[in-house]
Amino acid sequence: MNDPHQTEVFERVVRPHFDRLYRLSWRLTGAKAEAEDLFQELLVKAFGMLDELVHIEEPGSWLSRVMYNLFVDQHRRFVRQRMHLVDEGHLPGAGLADLPGDFDPVADRERQEQFRRLDAALQQLSEEHRVVVLLHDTEGYKLEEIEAMTEIPVGTIKSRLHRARNRLRQILQEDGTIS
Partner 1 sequence: MNNPRITEEQALLDLLKDYPVPEADAGFYDRALVRAVHQGSRRQRKRWMLAGFGSAVAAGLAIWMISAVLMTTPQLPDAEPAIPGVTIAMEQEHTVRLVFSSAEALDSATLTVSLPDGIELAGFPGQREITWETSLEEGRNLLPLTLIALTPAGGELLARLEHKDRNRTFRLRVDVS
Contacting positions for partner 1 (CB under 8 A): 1-2, 6-7, 10-11, 14-15, 18-19, 22-23, 26-27, 31-32, 34, 36, 39-40, 43-44, 46-48, 50, 75-91, 95-96, 98-100, 111, 114-115, 118-119, 123, 133-134, 137-138, 140, 165, 168-169, 172-173, 177-179
Pick 99 or 106: Cβ nearer partner 1: 99
Minimum distance from residue 90 beta carbon to partner 1 (Å): 7
Minimum distance from residue 24 beta carbon to partner 1 (Å): 9
Minimum distance from residue 154 beta carbon to partner 1 (Å): 19
Q: Is 60 exposed, middle or buried (CB count within 10 Å of its CB: 0-12, 13-18, 19+)?
A: middle
Whose CA is closest to 127, among 65, 68, 64, 39? 68
Pick 58 or 174: Cβ nearer partner 1: 174
Minimum distance from residue 55 beta carbon to partner 1 (Å): 18
SS3 40: helix
Pick 15 or 55: Cβ nearer partner 1: 15
Pick 78 or 106: Cβ nearer partner 1: 78
Pick 2 or 55: Cβ nearer partner 1: 2
Q: DSSP state, 101?
A: S
Please write down the HEC assignment for all residues of 127-145: HHHHHHHHHHHHCCCCHHH
CB 150 within 8 A of CB 68: yes
Number of Cβ within a 10 Å radius of residue 150: 21
Write the CB contacts of 57 (distance below 8 Å, at least 6 apart in sequence).
none
Minimum distance from residue 101 beta carbon to partner 1 (Å): 10
Region for 95 from its dihedrals, namely left if φ exceeds 0, alpha if ψ lies in -120 to 50, beta otherwise: left
